[in-house]
Structure 1
Amino acid sequence: MGWNGERRRYVVTFFRVLLVLLAVVQTTAFQGVKLKKKEHRNAYATMMYMGTPRDYEFYVATRVLIRSLVKLQVDADLIVIASLDVPLRWVRALEEEDGAKVVRVENLNNPYKGQENFDKRFKLTLNKLYAWSLVDYDRVVMLDADNLFLEKTDELFQCGQFCAVFINPCIFHTGLFVLQPSREVFKDMVHQLETGKENPDGADQGFIGAYFPDLLDQPMFHPPLNGSNLYGQYRLPLGYQMDASYYYLRLRWRVPCGPNSVITFPGALWLKPWYWWSWPVLPLGIQWHENRRQTLGYAAEMPVIIVQSIIFLGILAMTHLARPSISKLCYRSSDKTTSLIQTGLKFMAIWSILAAYIVPFAIIPRTIHPLVGWTLYFLGSTALSSIAINSFLLPAIQVFVPLAGIFGSLLVMAYPWYPNGVVRALAVFGYAFCYAPIAWGSVGKVMARLQVSLEREQFLPKLAESSPTSGFNKLY
């Protein structure tokens, strides 16, 4: 019993020491989380809301934006102003995985939704006004999800009450601006919404532009003098260079940020950088995806990519193996099919080819890497085209000519040594001008071959016969 009692004491002592060590580790880990969530005087903020067909795409874009700031170790909090209907799993991912602080808000009512020129996709963009309610911070850089940070831009927090970048001589862009939060300004903005303040476009761009109408006449933005804050409205001297549907935001003058610190993609909605088909139409789109690859990754899309690849490869294998069986249906008959049947079959053949080029765009996940997306697109188009080729006995080379043309245009657009966007556009136009006769000639050959097959009834037996007699069989 003595030995057992001694052993029992050793065991109890061991577990006590173990519990103490666990407590120390937990305390240290908790203190580490506190340091990570340390409050800052300033913040970078963006917004999320639901109700569009592209909610998931903008969720991914928001995470990439946040991760680009985390990667640069900016001296500011990262805020996401999210409407109450944003899924909780997205909120948890932003907070726990990305290190952002999510502020849940109710959607601001948009009184301009009845305007004649109102675009429904901008219905909830007025939630951006909540940036002025973040009064715990001295300055807030408000961002759209289509921004990507390449270098630290914490000098932006030296702004006065409001700073913005002009996208043309008269209009500033609300996709990136700096503000001083204020309850009074926020309440006044909401009041002017309720009273129907004039808004050219019914969205945040028109409202904020109308709220700060004299910004163009204000002094240039510059750092505080003698450590004091500057008050008033200021233009943010961000130089920009237009190229296709994006521009560089280059910090210059007295703001000590390097060139090309921020890339903004404010162009057409379907040419945002997170869509795989936007590159190489947008050359800098690959920079966005490279940043995503290094931070967020593509794990969410990979299961779908693998399944679709297997399906496309299976279609190719099945059409190749089934071709001899299809050929056995070919025969020559003295009776001609009616013109109505011939017209219907032509229609089916043409649409099957068009579907082979269109369907992959609809089913491939939109937010995958462009190199993966285009590879899967060519695989899918080849697989679906093989169905039309083998079903209607069409010439494969001519059917694949448009696909080869698309591939060539991508190479022309991706050429990395164009001196500017104008030369690049001229190169694409020249390529299209030279390739158009080849594509048109291939269409003519496909139609001619289809007509011959119809006249000889080469690819379908007569509808009135269950099976052709052996005397009429002819293999091709």
Structure 2
Amino acid sequence: MERGNYVVTFLRVLLVLMAAVETKALNGVKLKEEHRNAYATMMYMGTPKDYEFYVATRVMIKSLVKLQVEADLVVIASLDVPLRWVRALEEEDGAKVVRVENINNPYTGQQKRFKLTLNKLYAWSLVDYERVVMLDADNLFLQKTDELFQCGQFCAVFINPCIFHTGLFVLQPSQEVFKDMIHSLETGKENPDGADQGFIGAYFPDLLDQPNFHPPLNGSNLDGQYRLPLGYQMDASYYYLRLRWRVPCGPNSVITFPGALWLKPWYWWSWPVLPLGIEWHETRRQTLGYAAEMPVVIIQSIIFLGIIVMTHVALPTISKLYYKNSDKTTSLMQTAIKFIAIWSFLAAYVVPFAIIPRTIHPLVGWGLYFLGSIALSSVAINSFMLPAIQVFVPLIGIFGSLLVMAYPWYNNGVVRALAVFGYAFCYAPVAWGSVVKVLARLHVSVEREQFFPKSTESSPPYGVNKLC
């Protein structure tokens, strides 16, 4: 009997301890909830921009976490997505990753990066959820959009007057619809562009005739199909016309960047060419950060600074090499010297652009670009005895154009474009004149055999050729 009392007492103590631990967990850590709705996006491999879209996906997910959306965050990832990326999405970003096989695209003629976009159809297979908001990675959220889960079986935005955009749409998952879509692919259903945009547009051809979506005030879900207000897919090109948002219908909630691939907002060179790029990077700074790229940035900065120091330290040796004894140079040698000098001049502007991490913050990216260009230009200047000021004139012009584009007080995009055009028109003769002077100086130096004087010439003292 006493043993039974001991057992009961032990169980009571154990229950109290478990309750205390659970209470502490609830107070100290927000336990992961299961939601009946989800924001979803997709990832697949096989394009030259896989890493960039991976970064963009993480930034979008983290921005939704920051907005405290009341929904699960789902990534539909193909089986070949690297496991380290999957772990980062799950463990660091709080997303649910659903691994899928790539849907075979029977259409031909589309760009390579669109070949696997039909994986977006897997959104209809997420039947654990009542509603899913399917997203492209180039969406920038300005505020919560959880009211979208009240929309009907299919809802999308018309940023084109006649064609809705599949960068954001609402759907009700259904295995029947998913299987019918796959069957439509197998039977060769008409698809204008061979990608998700054309296929989904053809699958829901009557959306243009449907009413606009207005979320019910009582929180209930609607049935049917609806057109979403433009505020849920504000095309960045609308902003560039007036340099401000004027979208009267619906909340201004989501910016989308459907333009040229090389001007997506995550590329450091996209700003200040396109003003909204800095908004995306500010979101990244507040969420994901730039820790992944910073080691490369630091290493490149050290290398560029080392090149600048070495070219100045080695200048006496370089000058002596120019005046070493040599036979008369041949015409072929003169041509080779000119060719190497010209290409080294061009490389100073191109190489830094090519090697800087593409998704770094624009201010860091442009700063590193100018540092790299100065470093490589100094090599060309000291190696071929070129005039320093003229060599740097094009670089100064690039810096000036960035200032003109970054000026924040233009009345509208037309005035901004005219200002950039006017600056380019005025500076182009200056830049061209500097290039002509550099080539003329190089030609004279080679023709006079400044690099390889006759053996009877004596070496001049160091300092004659030193550039100021």
Tell me if structure 1 keeps the 8 A contact 2:324–2:452.
no
Segment drifting more, 321-330 vs 69-78:
321-330
Alignment partners' CA distance in 2, 1:313 and 1:128: 46
Residue 97 (structure 1) aligns with: 92
Tell me if structure 1 keeps the 8 A contact 2:326–2:453.
no
Alignment partners' CA distance in 2, 1:390 and 1:334: 20
Alignment partners' CA distance in 2, 1:330 and 1:415: 45
Alignment partners' CA distance in 1, 2:431 and 2:295: 35
Question: What letter matches 1:84 in structure 2?
Answer: L
Tell me if structure 2 keeps the 8 A contact 1:125–1:203.
yes
Distance change >3 Å, CA 249–CA 41, structure 1 → 2? farther
Residue 63 (structure 2) aligns with: 68
Tell me if structure 2 keeps the 8 A contact 1:393–1:459.
no
Alignment partners' CA distance in 1, 2:390 and 2:151: 60
Distance change >3 Å, CA 229–CA 150, structure 1 → 2? closer
Is 1:318 aligned with 2:310? yes
Alignment partners' CA distance in 2, 1:170 and 1:274: 29
Describe the SS at the equivalent of 1:152.
coil
Alignment partners' CA distance in 2, 1:21 and 1:446: 84
TM-aligned CA deviation for residue 332 of structure 1: 9.9
Residue 262 (structure 2) aligns with: 270
Tell me if structure 1 keeps the 8 A contact 2:377–2:391.
yes
Listed as ranges, the matches of 1:151-162 within 5 Å are 151-162=143-154
Describe the SS at the equivalent of 2:259.
coil
TM-aligned CA deviation for residue 90 of structure 1: 1.3
TM-aligned CA deviation for residue 230 of structure 1: 2.6
Is 1:459 aligned with 2:431? no
Distance change >3 Å, CA 33–CA 93, structure 1 → 2? farther
Question: What letter matches 2:237 in structure 1?
Answer: D
Residue 356 (structure 1) aligns with: 348
Question: What letter matches 2:121 in structure 1?
Answer: L
Question: What letter matches 1:344 in structure 2?
Answer: A
Listed as ranges, the matches of 1:102-117 within 5 Å are 102-112=97-107, 115=108, 117=109
Residue 359 (structure 2) aligns with: 367
Alignment partners' CA distance in 2, 1:111 and 1:447: 54
TM-aligned CA deviation for residue 169 of structure 1: 0.8
Q: What do the CA deviations read for 1:6-44 (whole angstroms, capped 9, x no partner)?
A: xxxxxxxxxxxxx99996776457667995421112111
TM-aligned CA deviation for residue 223 of structure 1: 2.1
Residue 186 (structure 1) aligns with: 178
Alignment partners' CA distance in 1, 2:23 and 2:80: 35
Q: What do the CA deviations read for 1:106-160 (whole angstroms, capped 9, x no partner)?
A: 1111111xx2x32111111111111111112121111111111121111112211
Alignment partner for residue 39 of structure 2, among 23, 37, 44?
Answer: 44
Alignment partners' CA distance in 1, 2:360 and 2:281: 8
Alignment partners' CA distance in 2, 1:38 and 1:409: 50
Stretches of structure 1 that go unaligned for 5 or more consecutive residues are 1-18, 463-467
Alignment partners' CA distance in 2, 1:432 and 1:246: 19
Is 1:172 aligned with 2:164? yes
Alignment partner for residue 243 of structure 1, among 234, 237, 241?
Answer: 237
Question: What letter matches 2:230 in structure 1?
Answer: L
Describe the SS at the equivalent of 1:350.
helix
Tell me if structure 1 keeps the 8 A contact 2:150–2:219.
no
Tell me if structure 2 keeps the 8 A contact 1:49–1:83.
yes
Describe the SS at the equivalent of 1:243.
helix
Residue 401 (structure 2) aligns with: 409
Alignment partners' CA distance in 2, 1:403 and 1:22: 69
Question: What letter matches 1:103 in structure 2?
Answer: V
TM-aligned CA deviation for residue 65 of structure 1: 0.1
TM-aligned CA deviation for residue 461 of structure 1: 5.7
Listed as ranges, the matches of 1:441-452 within 5 Å are 441-452=433-444
Residue 339 (structure 1) aligns with: 331
Listed as ranges, the matches of 1:130-149 within 5 Å are 130-149=122-141
Tell me if structure 2 keeps the 8 A contact 1:95–1:102.
yes
Taking structure 2 as the reference length, the TM-score comes to: 0.89
Alignment partner for residue 282 of structure 1, among 274, 280, 291?
Answer: 274
Tell me if structure 2 keeps the 8 A contact 1:48–1:83.
yes
Q: What do the CA deviations read for 1:247-304 (whole angstroms, capped 9, x no partner)?
A: 9998764x5x3x3x21211111111111111111121111111111111111111111
Stretches of structure 2 that go unaligned for 5 or more consecutive residues are 1-13
Describe the SS at the equivalent of 2:314.
helix
Q: What do the CA deviations read for 1:198-231 (whole angstroms, capped 9, x no partner)?
A: 1121111111111112211112222248655332
Question: What letter matches 1:52 in structure 2?
Answer: T
Distance change >3 Å, CA 270–CA 403, structure 1 → 2? same
Taking structure 1 as the reference length, the TM-score comes to: 0.87
Describe the SS at the equivalent of 1:328.
helix
TM-aligned CA deviation for residue 429 of structure 1: 1.1
Distance change >3 Å, CA 65–CA 190, structure 1 → 2? same
Alignment partner for residue 121 of structure 2, among 109, 120, 129?
Answer: 129
Alignment partners' CA distance in 1, 2:442 and 2:100: 60
Alignment partners' CA distance in 2, 1:34 and 1:81: 27
TM-aligned CA deviation for residue 319 of structure 1: 0.2
Q: Size of the alignment, in residue pairs?
A: 446
Describe the SS at the equivalent of 1:419.
coil
Q: What do the CA deviations read for 1:56-114 (whole angstroms, capped 9, x no partner)?
A: 111111110001111110111111111111122211111111111111111111111xx
Describe the SS at the equivalent of 1:288.
helix
